[in-house]
Amino acid sequence: MTAKFISFACIRKESGDLSPRPHYPSMPKYPKGVRVSSDEEKFMQGSEAKALFSVLGMTCSACAGSVEKAVKRLPGIKEAAVDVLNNRAQVMFYPAFVNEETIRETIEDVGFEATLINDEANEKLSQVCRIRIKGMTCTSCSSTIESALQALPGVQLARVALATEEAEVHYDSMILTYNQILEAVENTGFEALLIGTGGDRCKIHLQVDGVRTESSMRIIGNSLQALPGVQDINFDPELKKISVSYQPDLTGPRNFIEIIESTGSRRYKAKIFPGGGGRDAHREEEIKKYRRSFLWSLVFTVPVFFLSMIFMYIPGIKHGLDTKIVNMLSIGEILRWILSTPVQFVIGRRFYIGSYKALRHGSPNMDYLEVLAKGKTSEAIAKLMDLTPDTATLLTLDSEGNLLNEEEIDSRLVQKNDVLKIIPGAKVACDGFVIWGQSHVNESMITGESRPVAKRKGDMVIGGTLNTNGVLHIKATKVGSESALAQIVRLVESAQMAKAPVQKFADRISKFFVPLVIILSFSTWLAWFLSGKFNGYPKSWIPSSMDSFQLALQFGISVMVIACPCALGLATPTAVMVGSGIGASQGVLIKGGQALESTHKVNCIVFDKTGTLTVGKPVVVNTKLLKNMVLQEFYELVAAAEVNSEHPLAKAVVEYAKKFKQDEENPVWPEALNFESITGHGVKAVVRNKEVLVGNKSLMVDHQVHISLDAEEILSETEGLAQTGILVSIDKELVGILAISDPLKPGAQNVISILKSMKIRSILVTGDNWGTAKAIANEVGIDTVIAEAKPEHKSEKVKELQASGNVVAMVGDGINDSPALVAADVGMAIGAGTDIAVEAADIVLMKSNLEDVITAIHLSRKTFLRIRLNYLWAFGYNVLGIPIAAGALFPSTRFRLPPWIAGAAMAASSVSVVCSSLLLKNYKRPKVLDALEIRGITVE
């Protein structure tokens, strides 16, 4: 079956609708500066058009956000919704300002392949497969493979990542199979291994003992396929392995084992397939393979070294080695030939095979390998994956919650709704919530926050975190690939697959580099050969052990060997991989190379207020009644109106109102009729036959509610204290004012001060009133304030700043921040914020600390400084190395570079670039952040 492509923060049920989840509010309809009259607007409303595009290459919500961001910046875009699951984008636009081709080109400029869908019925669903590729050394290699894959009929998109040694291929399963894709990769001279097909939500590998025939395998497969939630089953008869893709909401691995063992009169036994078989296992196997080849090479090469470099200077031995025996061939030459042949044509045959296949496809490469060094660049993923414990303690409870049984199981067998016991010092096996017990959990391995977090009944826990004290019983809610840890791993993997824009420069150079080097090599040999033939240099220049032809050949070979596009191709991806991995360990999730590159250019940051600069847990601190009425009755009416709102201020009011019903655990509020949420203003409802308005001053003015001078004074005084004043009217009469305070986050003032020292301008944009906004801004040190801003106003301000030549970052946490997060060059979402804000952002700050804004920018700057140093070294090496190898110094100094030294220098250049990137592993955030005194805030 066609597998569903699932990615971080995009896991949801299939639906016929293009965008089953709510997407971001619309961008402004018309371009900035274009004035449209009411008649013209009516005409425009009737002339709007809709276009549906197939967008290939999207792997996660960051990709979808990039496409939306680019499209919504175009003039005349009414709405744009991107569905990463089905690889589609639906755009509502005004043809007077923009057309389908411009939209398509804009999507392709972002880095994805876009096609206008004219007949949706004819559009085939795309299959996705991921492949591990062994033997790539430079961008020329990855480009060769990409070109070969793109040439296959049915391939819609092929993306090859050099640093991760992986490829992702989107193809039409009606035309092509993944086996044909693997064959195409191997035909280019590289080894290919299938990692997986599709975007299966969860996948488990089981080993089945007792199976003797393929018929038995099919019977087991049919039994498993009948289970609800099973999506796909693959067999490997040789290894007796069954791979099952499934939906964790409906089934799980323990069910599979039970079904297998109950099939065939219980003669089959099933267990988790031993060994990880993951990226590290394959890399270690590859390293061992090359180590063996190296050691065998030494067995033959060391004697050659002694014969050529040492024995030739020992008189007695030299005479014996120089003895001619066959056609003027000496004993020494024959011995060297015999010893060199196995190294060249047995141990080194893979180089010749690869070169032949590469030449056959018209894309020669410079095949050398730095497996061990490159492997270290992806250690961040390996460390994240190692956080999950090997075992878990499963509890069996009766209907009343009494313990019936306790057993230790493999953590991969945990299923949704299982109850697990977490003892002190043990890691949490999966995401879930506490149903019994109290403890503190160290979440630093996930969020980077070192302070243990208190956990009690009802609190959420994250898989991979460490229980420090106390015993907890948790109920599993997200297992396998649904867990937060798996999503973080998937996001980091996706970020490391994505290329930074700066890498396109290296890709363009590498495309022409190898042919150019071959031409230079041949030209060098020809120039020296002709010079020697026609006495262009003295005969004394020629060493006694060779003639002019051999001298020319040596110069040509040295040029061929020393030239290295590998270092150039590794300069960017290795640094991006290490940088994104370090970011993840610091609690800063960077969604790809483009986000990392844009962040180092940021010179202006737009901050939301609630939940970003402030704690985001506002509390009612004062109540002023303007009419005689019972306070409990007043709060019952207010809470009834506000209980249906998701706004943080509304929740604060409802929580405060609960204090007047202390005798009730879950108070029931009066029914609210005709409820209406007015974005940016407040709410309106009918409660007990009374019209209740709860909101800001603008809401009251719009509904003709008179605001007295006393009320104005109370509001002014409230706002002067950096508190938010909420007005309440009943039947068009103002009856009360609530003062709500949302304390600043610890260190907010210092963060703004540090940003100023980094020459980054800070701006506050909030939907709150002017008085509160200015008071908050003054407290933290922000000069520019925009208050009472609706969601579209925030994105408009971002666009205005961009039009002024600024590179803008937006920091927010709410749904109303999503348009601005998409519009900004870099969207930073506070990790504790809403899912849609996290999905829209380019960077997620897991700890919800403002200091991490500085960490993200500082890390980006350090990463791109490292990339520049890598490029400087890669270019400098080739600019200096090629002329020296060609003999530029030979006429004046008689210095020449033997091919074996040139080869060593070439390998060293690639390793040095990778090691340069690995130095980022020593990254430390700015010391000024360590000096900040960060204190926790408790809100009762």
Residue 394: name the closest of 412, 418, 417 by CA: 418
Rounded CA-CA distance 66/75 in Å is 17
pLDDT band at 253 (very low <50, low <70, confident <90, very high): confident
Taking CA atoms, 749 is separated from 607, 608, 762, in Å, by 13, 14, 11
Q: What is the pTM of this model?
A: 0.59
Q: Is the per-residue pLDDT at 61 higher than 70?
A: no
Q: Is the per-residue pLDDT at 587 higher than 90?
A: no
Average pLDDT over residues 115-123: 54
Query: What's the first-to-final CA gap in the chain, in angstroms?
Result: 52
Q: Read off the pLDDT of residues 315-337 as tens digits, 9 standing for 90 and up.
A: 778 778 877 777 777 888 888 88
- CB distance 466 to 441 below 8 Å: yes
Q: Is the per-residue pLDDT at 630 higher than 80?
A: yes
321: phi then psi, degrees, rounded to nearest 5: -70, -30
Rounded CA-CA distance 408/389 in Å is 12
Residue bearing tokens 């004290």: 469
Is 123-197 a CATH 3.40.50.20 domain?
no
Q: Which amino acid is at 147?
A: S
Domain boundaries, the chain: 49-117, 123-197, 202-273, 285-375, 381-496, 501-574+862-922, 588-614+744-846, 619-741
| Highest mean pLDDT (candidates 116-130, 800-814, 900-914) | 800-814
Helix (H, G, I), strand (E, B) or coil at 735: strand
Name the residue with higher pLDDT: 209 or 39: 209
Rounded CA-CA distance 787/767 in Å is 6
Helices (H), 673-829: 697-702, 709-720, 748-757, 770-780, 791-803, 818-823
Tokens of 52: 């549906």
Average pLDDT over residues 766-779: 83
Q: Is the per-residue pLDDT at 899 higher than 50?
A: yes
Residue 96: name the closest of 163, 171, 46 by CA: 46
Q: Is the per-residue pLDDT at 498 higher than 70?
A: no
Domains 202-273 and 588-614+744-846 share a fold: no
CB within 8 Å of 32: residues ≥ 6 apart:
796, 799, 800, 803
- CB distance 49 to 43 below 8 Å: no
Q: Is the per-residue pLDDT at 416 higher than 70?
A: yes
Q: What is the pLDDT of residue 736?
A: 92
- CB distance 74 to 91 below 8 Å: no
Average pLDDT over residues 531-546: 84
Identify the helix (H) or strand (E) that includes residue 279: helix 279-305
Q: What is the pLDDT of residue 615?
A: 80
Residue 724: name the closest of 616, 643, 818 by CA: 616
- CB distance 877 to 564 below 8 Å: yes
Pairing mode of beta strands 269-272, 619-625:
unpaired
Q: What is the largest CA-CA distance in the chain?
A: 122
Q: Is the per-residue pLDDT at 254 higher than 90?
A: no
Residue 739: name the closest of 747, 730, 727 by CA: 727
| Active-site option among 608, 742, 817, 852 | 608
Q: What is the pLDDT of residue 931?
A: 63
Task: Classify each residue of 31-57 as buried b or exposed e, where b means 16 or more C-beta atoms within 10 Å of its C-beta.
Answer: eeeeeeeeeeeeebeeeeeebbbbbbb
Mean pLDDT lowest for which of 245-249, 297-301, 423-427, 823-827? 245-249
| Highest mean pLDDT (candidates 410-419, 609-618, 688-697) | 688-697
Helix (H, G, I), strand (E, B) or coil at 841: coil
Average pLDDT over residues 424-438: 89
Bridge partners, residue 93, by sequence:
49, 77
Question: What fold is seen in the domain 49-117?
Answer: Alpha-Beta Plaits (3.30.70)
Q: What is the pLDDT of residue 122?
A: 35
Tokens of 124: 């085939």
Q: Is the per-residue pLDDT at 717 higher than 70?
A: yes
Mean pLDDT lowest for which of 157-166, 729-738, 769-778? 157-166
Q: What is the pLDDT of residue 763?
A: 92
Tokens of 515: 């042919």
Pairing mode of beta strands 784-786, 761-765:
parallel
Rounded CA-CA distance 312/308 in Å is 6
- The strand order across the sheet containing 431-436 reads 403-410, 391-397, 419-422, 472-478, 431-436, 460-461
Average pLDDT over residues 363-392: 56
Tokens of 666: 């879950």
Q: Read off the pLDDT of residues 333-349 as tens digits, 9 standing for 90 and up.
A: 888 888 888 887 787 77
Residue 118: name the closest of 199, 53, 22 by CA: 53
Can you give 135-191 as a three-state secondary structure string? CCCCHHHHHHHHHHHHCCCCEEEEEEECCCCEEEEEECCCCCCHHHHHHHHHHCCCE
Question: What fold is seen in the domain 381-496?
Answer: 2.70.150
Average pLDDT, the chain: 77
327: phi then psi, degrees, rounded to nearest 5: 45, 50
Residue 794: half-sphere exposure toward Cβ, Cα within 13 Å: 36
Mean pLDDT lowest for which of 81-90, 109-118, 602-611? 81-90
Q: What is the pLDDT of residue 567?
A: 76
Q: What is the pLDDT of residue 456?
A: 86
CATH architecture of 619-741: 3-Layer(aba) Sandwich (3.40)
Q: Is the per-residue pLDDT at 720 higher than 70?
A: yes
Q: Is the per-residue pLDDT at 123 higher than 50?
A: no
Identify the helix (H) or strand (E) that includes residue 487: helix 484-497
Q: Is the per-residue pLDDT at 422 higher than 50?
A: yes
pLDDT band at 84 (very low <50, low <70, confident <90, very high): low
Q: Which amino acid is at 302?
A: V
Q: In the chain, what percentage of residues exceed pLDDT 90?
A: 10
Q: What is the pLDDT of residue 361?
A: 47
Name the residue with higher pLDDT: 481 or 735: 735
| Highest mean pLDDT (candidates 80-84, 222-226, 371-375, 758-762) | 758-762
Q: Read off the pLDDT of residues 49-60 as tens digits, 9 standing for 90 and up.
A: 778 888 877 765
Q: Read off the pLDDT of residues 676-701 as tens digits, 9 standing for 90 and up.
A: 888 778 899 999 999 999 998 888 99
Q: What is the pLDDT of residue 30?
A: 42
Mean pLDDT lowest for which of 275-289, 462-476, 913-927? 275-289
Mean pLDDT lowest for which of 17-21, 235-239, 443-447, 923-927? 17-21
- The crossing angle, in degrees rounded to 10, of helices 899-918 and 851-885 is 170
**Among 3.30.70.100, 3.40.630.10, 3.20.20.100, 3.40.50.2300, what is the CATH number of 202-273?**
3.30.70.100
Q: Which amino acid is at 571?
A: A
Q: What is the pLDDT of residue 39?
A: 46
Rounded CA-CA distance 149/114 in Å is 18
CB within 8 Å of 743: residues ≥ 6 apart:
614, 615, 937, 939
**Among 2.60.40.10, 3.30.70.20, 3.40.50.1000, 3.40.190.290, what is the CATH number of 588-614+744-846?**
3.40.50.1000
Q: What is the pLDDT of residue 602?
A: 93
- CB distance 206 to 217 below 8 Å: no
Identify the helix (H) or strand (E) that includes residue 68: helix 61-72
Tokens of 268: 């089959």
Answer yes or no: 608 catalytic: yes
Taking CA atoms, 638 is separated from 316, 590, 626, 777, 921, in Å, by 108, 42, 15, 29, 54
Rounded CA-CA distance 114/475 in Å is 43
Q: In the chain, what percentage of residues exceed pLDDT 70?
A: 80
pLDDT band at 163 (very low <50, low <70, confident <90, very high): low
Q: What is the pLDDT of residue 794?
A: 82
CB within 8 Å of 919: residues ≥ 6 apart:
866
Helices (H) and strands (E) in the chain, counts: 32, 36
440: phi then psi, degrees, rounded to nearest 5: -120, 140
Identify the helix (H) or strand (E) that includes residue 667: none
Length of the chain equals 940
